[in-house]
Chain A
């Protein structure tokens, strides 16, 4: 289990199957929530997560592939696309400090 301090996060990746649908939606939501924090939010297909990602957020159904595609990076799986507590915790950790466990 890896972890990262919220204040050390520079790049947050939202991954989904094609990198075109649900990840774009969640990324735009997170981008608004993280405005002013200096964190870059990007969306990518789960098979091509960039190597400089600090935190990956993706649905639990795709977590296996995300882990294989970016081993060692903090991975936060979530269940629902709107208001998932796991995602909210990431936002809180980045904004108010705290540790993100993945």
Chain B
């Protein structure tokens, strides 16, 4: 399958390792996104600057973000390591960092949850061979209780304060980037990493936790929009529809709908991987989108997940629609023009009939096959 046109994209061991690590981080957040959205909706509606300010209901905002969400993350992280028992000690340990710090402890939860479960896993391995018949329940309950209690104490006294410091430093770093208008440069890293399937790791593992800390402080955060902006992918797909290899054009409208409205960005990654130079288009689109967000002071209340236009609209704070929509539109436009230019406005592919070079460069390869079969497959679906 590997041709100059469709290079092999199976990665190196390093990439798989980074993906796996990032996958673990995202794996603690993503199953809980429903709770994040509940918090985002409550916040957008009921805080003093929200759509329908309501003091009583706004009291939900603080406890959910500072306690419930970290505990859910710690619970999920613990479950990934050591099933239900791991989940329980993960949640208990997370309470330690929640109490031990003043900022939302997402990073702390992502550390202590799996750590406590990991410790319990080893304790279980040790005790299970030595426990007499009939004492299993007693031993199991007390080992979990003791590990949980110790980890919670360690969280309050040691881990919480340290992670708070780290969150603070990272937050200051981001603020520095924002105040010096350097944030668009982040797209140079984010967009290529995204198409290598590190999208969830970046958005939910790194940007999301920092964004929540900022959102609590300022009522919104630009960090939620760095990776999840659906604009660059949309622009790229439009360019493919108009100027891409003819064989690929039939599949792009469906891809656009799934990407822009459904928020599944993975759908456009292959279109970049097929022609790697198009990464320049999504970088340019992403960077100009971020710049637009910066200039207009746009931000979101919570993480828009999936990165669909609907999710964006739902977590946009009152009065913030202009900047958000402008950033998406600018990103799509820039990405479209750069991608169109890189695709030679359709000419570079030799799409004119009877061009012999074209048959060799594109249609004879994998993509030709794709076209032949893609149309019926899509229709069947």
| Chain A residues near B (Cβ < 8 Å) | 16-18, 20-22, 25, 29, 32-33, 45-47, 59-65, 68, 77, 79-85, 87-88, 91
CB-based nearest A residue for B379: A83
Dominant SS among interface residues on chain B: helix
Partner of B16, one of A16, A25, A33, A65: A65
CB-based nearest B residue for A47: B23
Name the A residues within 8 Å of B254 (CB-CB): 82
Q: A18-B23, A91-B377 are in contact. List 20 more A-B contacts (CB 8 A).
A: A18-B26, A18-B27, A20-B30, A25-B258, A33-B377, A33-B381, A63-B10, A64-B10, A64-B11, A79-B270, A79-B273, A79-B366, A80-B248, A80-B274, A81-B258, A81-B270, A82-B254, A82-B255, A82-B381, A85-B372
* 1/0 contact string of B1-41 vs chain A (CB within 8 Å): 10000101111010110011001101100110000000000
**With known contacts A22-B264, A64-B10, A68-B16, A88–B377 Cβ distance under 8 A:** yes
| Chain B residues near A (Cβ < 8 Å) | 1, 6, 8-11, 13, 15-16, 19-20, 23-24, 26-27, 30-31, 196-197, 199-201, 248, 251, 254-255, 258, 262-267, 269-271, 273-274, 306, 366, 369-370, 372-378, 380-381
Q: Are A82 and B377 in contact (CB under 8 A)?
A: yes
Name the A residues within 8 Å of B274 (CB-CB): 79-80
Q: Are A33 and B380 in contact (CB under 8 A)?
A: yes
In whole Å, how far is B326's beta carbon from the nearest beta carbon of chain A?
Answer: 26
How far is it, in angstroms, between the C-alpha of A7 and the C-alpha of B85 when the chains are bound?
40
CB-based nearest B residue for A69: B20
**With known contacts A33-B381, A63-B10, A79-B9, A16–B266 Cβ distance under 8 A:** yes
How far is it, in angstroms, between the C-alpha of A83 and the C-alpha of B368 when the chains are bound?
12
